[in-house]
Amino acid sequence: MDIAIIADDLSGANDTAVAFRKQGIKTCVVNYPEGFENELIDCDLLSASTNTRDLESSEAEKILRVVTKSLMKMGVKRVYKKIDSTWRGNIGRETQTIMEELNVRIAVICSSFPDLYRTIKDGHLFVNGKPIQHTPIAFDPCKPMKTSYLPEILQAQTDIPVYLLNYEDVSKGSVYLSEKIQAVSNGKKAMFIVDAVESNDMEIIASIETGDQTDLLFCGSAGLSNAMLNAKKVFEIPKMLPVMVVVGSVHPVNQELIQQTVQQNKAVAVRLDPCQLLQGTVDDETKEKAHRVMEDGSSIIIHTGQSDVDRNATQAYGKSMKLNEGETSLKINRAVQDFVNELLEHYQFAGFIVTGGTTALHFLRGIRGAGIRMVDEIETGVPFGMVIGGPMEGAKIITKAGGFGSPNTFINSIERLQKNICLKGEE
């Protein structure tokens, strides 16, 4: 993983991480130290809770160094420092420690969360419209807040110079902020507290750039990380793997499913000429289209045609080859699987949807699977499972009898596979 979240308590690690999971990003939250003793698998984003909010600053610094070093060993190059929206904790000391370990020059700090009535104006922190020292939070037993002026609070916790980018600066946009940060810091380490009163301000801050983003540490509440996620700055949503849909059944309901899925831009349909398949070939134009779909990252529906004209032409061609209906179907299914296997050699998929019992059988045998472990049901008559055996063991597969399914069956199944949502019993 390239980037991680470091929070000073577990609830903060969780409320920042959950937004990424909702976007389909596989996110793990771990506690220090026990969480770092386990091997993490299938995780795109790690949110680490150091549990240092109420510790002495010197002890917090030691833990932050260990955690940051551990993340770097995992391949992390950038960190989002989650801080409390009411500024409890060792914010200055912890931020400085991360900057030192990652060799980062600039920290941009904004704890505003306008949706929860936490705002910063002229460097002062307000909760529900009141300066922080005039709220119950001011009487925190561990870290009481005696002033709302954040530059003063932060400078007392760090050796790095602290500057304020006020509301007027923010109103001039992210390009202006980026240029001012570079001018004020003048190549040296600096921390910048940034005003934010409205959600739009958060989006502007999330778009700050310094040229080399690894030289920039963002610090804030879940409000800023959410804005970064929406702006696709720093936190870039991994592109979903495509889904392969193989339609072998000639039942008319499948034509409606294909049309609905294509119209909703959930997949691209690639038709294989059944007469060509009976000859054991697929024309170059069709192959090129399939590869273009894959290169674009789109899900693909592979089918052999559903109209009466298709069926009649296929049966007539099969008879001309002295094949009965069963032999014709068998030959087509094997040719479809050959085409599928060619794509599987070149591309990865989030999972598979296979329609028709005979097609499902050939698909499973084609990937050398021994069976399917049932997990759940997408809808009535549309089971979800995982491949047993073979080189693709554990691959997710949804099967459907030819005549089953609602108009959105393919759409719902594709979304389920791409979001990687854990279903009952899924490991």
- Find the range with the poorest average confidence among 83-97, 318-332, 385-399: 318-332
Summary count for the chain: helices (H), strands (E): 15, 18
Q: What is the mean pLDDT of residues 228-241?
A: 66
Grouping H, G, I as helix, E, B as strand and the rest as coil, residue 165 is: strand
**37 C-beta neighbours (distance < 10 Å), count:** 8
The predicted model scores a pTM of: 0.61
Over 90: is that where the pLDDT of 168 sits?
yes
Q: What is the mean pLDDT of residues 21-40?
A: 80
Here the tokens at position 423 are 């279903």
Over 80: is that where the pLDDT of 240 sits?
no
> How far is Cα 79 from Cα 184, in angstroms, rounded to an integer?
23
Over 50: is that where the pLDDT of 423 sits?
no
Residue ranges per structural domain of the chain: 3-231, 243-419
Return mean pLDDT, the chain.
Answer: 88
Give residue-wise pLDDT tens across range 4-24. 999 999 999 999 888 887 776
Write out the H or E segment, with its range, that includes residue 19: helix 10-22
CATH of 243-419, one of 3.40.980.20, 3.40.50.1000, 3.40.50.850, 3.30.530.20: 3.40.980.20
Alpha helix stretches (DSSP H) within 23-156:
57-73, 91-102, 150-155
Quote the pLDDT of residue 155: 97
Angle formed at CA 137 by CA 132 and CA 143, multiple of 5 degrees: 100
Quote the pLDDT of residue 270: 94
Over 50: is that where the pLDDT of 424 sits?
no
Quote the pLDDT of residue 229: 82
Find where tokens 């959105």 sit: 408
Over 90: is that where the pLDDT of 66 sits?
yes
Q: What is the mean pLDDT of residues 46-56?
A: 94
Q: What is the mean pLDDT of residues 256-285?
A: 90
Same fold, 3-231 and 243-419: no
Q: What is the mean pLDDT of residues 325-354?
A: 89
Region class of 250: left (phi > 0), else alpha (psi between -120 and 50), else beta: alpha
Quote the pLDDT of residue 185: 95
Of the pLDDT bands very low, low, confident and very high (cuts 50, 70, 90), residue 122 is: very high
Contact 318, 278 (CB under 8 A): yes
Of the pLDDT bands very low, low, confident and very high (cuts 50, 70, 90), residue 241 is: confident
Q: What is the mean pLDDT of residues 226-243?
A: 72
Quote the pLDDT of residue 426: 43
Specify the amino acid at residue 368.
Answer: R
Over 70: is that where the pLDDT of 39 sits?
no
Quote the pLDDT of residue 422: 35
Residue 9: C-alpha distances to residues 48, 56, 117 (Å): 9, 14, 21
Q: For residue 381, which phi and psi values (nearest 5 degrees)?
A: 85, 10
- Find the range with the poorest average confidence among 23-27, 170-174, 328-332, 366-370: 23-27
CATH of 3-231, one of 3.40.718.10, 3.40.50.2000, 3.40.50.10840, 3.30.1160.10: 3.40.50.10840
Over 60: is that where the pLDDT of 425 sits?
no
Over 60: is that where the pLDDT of 233 sits?
no
Tell which wins on pLDDT, 276 or 168.
168
Alpha helix stretches (DSSP H) within 232-366:
253-263, 274-278, 284-295, 308-320, 325-346, 357-366
Over 70: is that where the pLDDT of 421 sits?
no
Over 80: is that where the pLDDT of 273 sits?
yes
Tell which wins on pLDDT, 306 or 72.
72
- Find the range with the poorest average confidence among 30-39, 130-139, 285-294: 30-39
Give residue-wise pLDDT tens across range 87-120. 999 999 999 999 999 999 999 999 999 999 999 9
